Amino acid sequence: MEINGVLIEGFEKWLQTLGYAESTVTVSVNYLRDFFFYLKDLPADRHGNEISNLGQINKQTLDNYHSYLQTRKNKRQTGSLSQNYITSNINALKRFSKYLQVTEKAVLEIDIRPQPNQVQKHTILTRGEIGALYKACGNDFLGVRDRAMLGVYYGCGLRRSEGLALNLDDVLLREKLVYVRKGKYYRERYVPIREDLENYIYTGRAKILGFKNIRQEAFFLSRSVKRMHGNSLINRIHRLAKLAKIDKGTDLHTLRHSIATHLLQSGMGLEEVSRFLGHASLESTQIYTHVAYEAPAKEDVVYE
């Protein structure tokens, strides 16, 4: 089957039909598009043949692509791509392989496994670095929104997609809880609220709503009074990290990983942390334990 845009469009519609989160659909399509661009830029073989159809892709091609990702420079930050990024990239190709299989379009086996020395390590911020992020927030309505962003992704430990899907009605101020409607695998849960969210609702968000006379259910609003996109939130966290002079790769998932580690360091039980994060099993939570017990448990932090 010829490699073209029709494959990408079909893959995207398939993911949407299966109910994948919007963010997962977007990144999966982008990763597949990157893979196709990689194939297009490959030099022709000794017979002058270029890869133009799926049948020409073999295990060596995929292994070479995996090696390419390991050495490719990060376009947004200094250094190489994170292992999490690479894993997500390969998982997207595996979804594409499944799409080809169930639609009987082609057979493309993706058998790429991390090497033993490529164990995924999460970037963890110290309590002091989290405090520096809060201090970097401005006093205008965007700064108030930034603090709410930290409150959702660090204070509440939400996943990227969960925070993006958050609606105003999901923030239960009276009960001091956040209702996570669109958790992973459609699991719902409640998490404790931070005061930064209430401040944002009555000041920052109210200011943004004043730009246009429209109703909007989304919790995080852009200047155009629309639901914010993931890249917009990531750009804001990168800006805060730069102002706070944090050299580590910092994104929305970094905040979630950090709160998980800090809770364990504070003595919260593994099962309780697992419920807080919305994990399906304790195994998913245990990845944070080695960091929690290696890093110092106490470090002064000021959020105000």
With a CB cutoff of 8 Å and minimum separation 6, the contacts of 195 are: 151
**pTM of the predicted model as reported, rounded to 2 decimal places:** 0.61
Select which of 205, 257, 262, 279 is catalytic.
Answer: 279
Q: What is the DSSP letter of 74?
A: P
pLDDT at 24: 81
Give domain limits for the chain. 5-102, 127-294
Give the chain's mean pLDDT: 83
Write the burial class of residue 99 (CB in 10 Å: 0-12 exposed, 13-18 middle, 19+ buried): buried
Q: Is 256 a catalytic residue?
A: yes
Strand partners, 221: 227
- The CATH fold of domain 5-102: DNA polymerase; domain 1 (1.10.150)
* Cβ atoms of 202 and 251 closer than 8 Å: no
Select which of 31, 134, 153, 288 is catalytic.
Answer: 288
Most confident of 88-97, 179-188, 271-280: 88-97
Q: What is the DSSP letter of 20?
A: -
Q: Is 253 a catalytic residue?
A: yes
CA distance 21 to 253: 16
Indicate if the pLDDT at residue 303 is higher than 50: no
Q: Is 159 a catalytic residue?
A: yes
CA distance 180 to 161: 10
- The CATH fold of domain 127-294: hpI Integrase; Chain A (1.10.443)
Q: Mean pLDDT over residues 101-105, rounded? A: 85
Indicate if the pLDDT at residue 108 is higher than 50: yes
Select which of 159, 160, 194, 262 is catalytic.
Answer: 159
Q: How far is CA 40 from CA 1, 34, 228, 254, 274, in A?
A: 15, 10, 33, 33, 43
Q: Is 189 a catalytic residue?
A: no
Select which of 105, 238, 253, 275 is catalytic.
Answer: 253
pLDDT at 304: 37
For the chain, what percentages of helix, strand and coil (3-state, to nearest 5) are there? 55, 5, 40
Q: Mean pLDDT over residues 191-216, rounded? A: 92
Select which of 72, 184, 227, 239 is catalytic.
Answer: 184
CA distance 154 to 173: 18
pLDDT at 47: 56
| Dihedral (Cα; 288, 291, 295, 299), 10-degree rounding | -20
What digits encode the pLDDT tens for the residues 126-175?
Answer: 999 999 999 999 999 999 999 999 999 999 999 998 999 999 999 999 99
Q: 46 versus 70: which is more confidently predicted? A: 70
Percent pLDDT > 90 in the chain is: 39
